[in-house]
Structures are given as structure tokens and as C-alpha cells.
Amino acid sequence: MIRLIGILTGLFFALMAVWGFGTGLATVISDGQLKEATAEHEFHLHPRDAELASDGAFGKWDLAQLQRGMQVYKEVCAACHGLKFVAFRDLTALGYSEAEVKAIAAGFQVPGIDPNTGEANTRPGLPTDYFPSPYPNSVAAAAANNNAIPPDLSLMTKARHDGGNYVYSLLTGYRNVDTFSIDGKKVKEEFPEFSTPPNTHFNPYFANLNIAMAAPLTTEGQVTYAEGQPKATVDQMSRDVAAFLTWTAEPKKVKRTQVGWPVMGFLLFATILAWMAKNQVWAAIKPKKKPA
């Protein structure tokens, strides 16, 4: 009787799983997700490999690149995007001295309070402060950017699939919609109804192909790197700021990887040791033979 109940219970759950799959498939079809291809589906590109030093199982931070990326953020990206989860003092991990961190912090205006009147004001940043938003609130941000609120970049590379590569590809991916093609197929020829609305810009690395942000990096030398550093091409600046934003999103990434390998080695050794101990303990005990 118990076996019969078990079989019926298993059959019930199997039927429920099949029913759920069928319902989901019907919903997808009814929502039109399986209808004819769209421009977004056909011409959306996967991110290109930025070849960051922090990538891979043996990745490490390239401090010189992170500092260049910090410079690009400060001189270009900070005009529209904040880093609300990153404190200025965290920059010491990139090789900056305490004096340099103080100078960087002082270059930003952060919210403060007048000690005499108690009124809200702004003041130069301190190492203990966090990177401020360039706008006082979301309404002001939308008003200054055609109703498109620039996102905070602290966790951007964690919020997007293949984040570092995504940022790099997006910054270098702006194209002319009228001439852009893949395998000889042009967007306008394949989908004549597709258009780039006013105040948007065509970028095949963006999900719906049209992004509100204009290309922020457009010319070589837009940021002046220190002597001895690579030439500040659009590609190099994009790669550097992608590396920096990878660090802001996951500053312990390399440390975690470095600690992970010894831990994996220890667990492997402990597993082998436990298996050998088990064989040693039970070696003298022979299994009983079943009667014929």
C-alpha cells in the first residue's frame, strides 16, 4: 500500500511538472516571444573580450590600469554618474598615497551642513566620504538628461552579464544605424520599421540597440595620461575604465581567487586522506556473503 501511494505521489508531481511546462510554453507563445525575429534579437551583439588582467582563474589587478581608469572616470564619467558605494579612502588599494587620496577627495563637492546655520550645503570631500552623485536627486538627473537618469556605476559590472567586457564594448560600440551591418545584412534593409528615436544613439551592444547616453569617449587624448603610460586612445580609455569599474564592483575579487586555490587544494588533500583512512579502517572487515 505504501509503495502504491509513493508511485501515485511521484506520478502526480510528474504530471504537475509537465502541466507547468506546457502552461509556460503557451504563455511564451501568447506573448509573442516566439514570433518573427526583431531587430533587437538579430543585431544585438555579445560583448567583446576586453582582456582585463583581472579576468580568469589566475587574474590579478593591474594597478597602473586601475589608476588610469580612475582618471577616466573622474574626468569624463563623473559628470553624469556617481559611485555611491565607493569611499575615497578605498583608493589606497589602487596604490594611491594618503596625500593623493586627500587631493582626489578634495576635488569633489559632497553634501554637508553649515555648522553655524544648520543649513544644507556642499563642501570639499574627505577620504572618509563616498563618491557623490553629480545630481542632488533623481528629478534633477532626469531633467538634465532628457528624462533618462544616469545609473550609479558602483556595481555596474556586477549588474550586467559579462560586466567588464560589457562596459568596454558599450563604450566602443557606437555605430551609424544607417550603415551598420552583420554578415552583409543591414538593420535598415532587414527591418525598415526600426528607428533611433530623438535623444538616443544606436549601439548594438545595448539591449534594445538605442541608448540615451551619447558616446562619452570620442577622441584620442580626451584624457591626458601620465608620461610612460599607453596612448589614450578611445579603445584604451574604454578598457581602462572598464577595469576600474570591475574593481569598484568587486574589490576583493582577486584576493578571493588567490585564497580559493589553496582552499581547493586543501579540500582535495583532505578528501584523499579521508578516503585512504576509510580503506585502512575497514580493510580487515570482509563483507558477508549472501546465502545461495
Residue 237 located in a structural domain: yes
The whole-number pLDDT of residue 244 equals 98
* Separation between Cα atoms, residue 136 and residue 276, nearest integer Å: 64
The whole-number pLDDT of residue 31 equals 52
The count of domains in the chain is: 1
**Is 264 annotated to bind ligand?**
no
Q: What burial letters (b/e) apply to 41-73, b meaning 16+ CB within 10 Å?
A: eebbeebeebebbbbeeeeebbebbbbbbbbbb
The whole-number pLDDT of residue 34 equals 45
**Is 81 annotated to bind ligand?**
yes
- With a cut of 50, list the residues of the chain below it in pLDDT: 32, 34-35
The whole-number pLDDT of residue 268 equals 95
CATH number of the domain encompassing residue 177: 1.10.760.10
The whole-number pLDDT of residue 191 equals 93
What range defines the domain where residue 211 resides?
A: 39-62+157-254
Residue 203 located in a structural domain: yes
The whole-number pLDDT of residue 292 equals 60
Residue 267 located in a structural domain: no
Kindly report the pTM of this predicted structure.
0.82
Residue 172 located in a structural domain: yes
Cell triple for residue 258?
588567490
**Is 77 annotated to bind ligand?**
yes
Residue 17 located in a structural domain: no
Residue 249 located in a structural domain: yes
Residue 167 located in a structural domain: yes
**Is 44 annotated to bind ligand?**
no
Query: Maximum CA pair distance of the chain?
Result: 98
pLDDT in tens, 185-198: 999 899 999 999 99
pLDDT in tens, 7-41: 777 777 778 777 777 676 666 555 545 446 789 98
Residue 214 located in a structural domain: yes
